[in-house]
Amino acid sequence: DAGVIQSPRHEVTEMGQEVTLRCKPISGHNSLFWYRQTMMRGLELLIYFNNNVPIDDSGMPEDRFSAKMPNASFSTLKIQPSEPRDSAVYFCASSSRLAGLGELFFGEGSRLTVL
């Protein structure tokens, strides 16, 4: 079975540019999570969706960040405009309450560097 698929794996951009990170959850999973990981702040939950509906976006740093889930098989995290402090690894994860204990399955992450 295909796992959670994220793209791009690496992104280097300049301050002020728009960044779009993409995620395809595991088929059949109804929850999707976006996390950000940095050395300073560790693993932070940005936003999560249940059945394509955003449930908690309190972790989204500011208005420059937005996330969408137009359907059950695709989600995007957009940063506009990007800033150097946004440099981090961004993880997408999905889960299903009907599978196991609803554990998270993570993608390989997107490493973002903003110059």
Q: Residue from 25, 77, 95, 114 that binds another protein (CB under 8 A)?
A: 95
Long-range contacts of 59-64 (CB under 8 A, 24+ apart): 61/86
Of 12 and 15, nearer to another protein (C-beta) is 12
Q: How many degrees, rounded to 5, is the angle at CA 49 between CA 113 and CA 107? A: 45
Nearer to another protein, 48 or 65 (CB): 48
Report the C-alpha gap between 22 and 36 in whole angstroms.
14
Q: Do 114 and 86 meet the contact criterion of CB atoms below 8 Å apart?
A: yes
Q: Are 52 and 70 in contact (CB under 8 A)?
A: yes
- Residues in 68-87 that interact with another protein by CB under 8 A: none
Among 20, 87, 106, 113, binds another protein (CB under 8 A): 106
CB of 35 to another protein, least distance (A): 8
At its nearest, how many Å lie between another protein and the CB of residue 72?
A: 15
Choices 11-19, 60-68, 80-88, 96-104; region in contact with another protein by CB under 8 A: 96-104
Q: Using CB under 8 A, which of the segments 14-22, 50-58, 62-70, 74-82 binds another protein?
A: 50-58
Question: Is the backbone peptide bond immediately before 8 cis, with ω within 30 degrees of 0?
Answer: yes
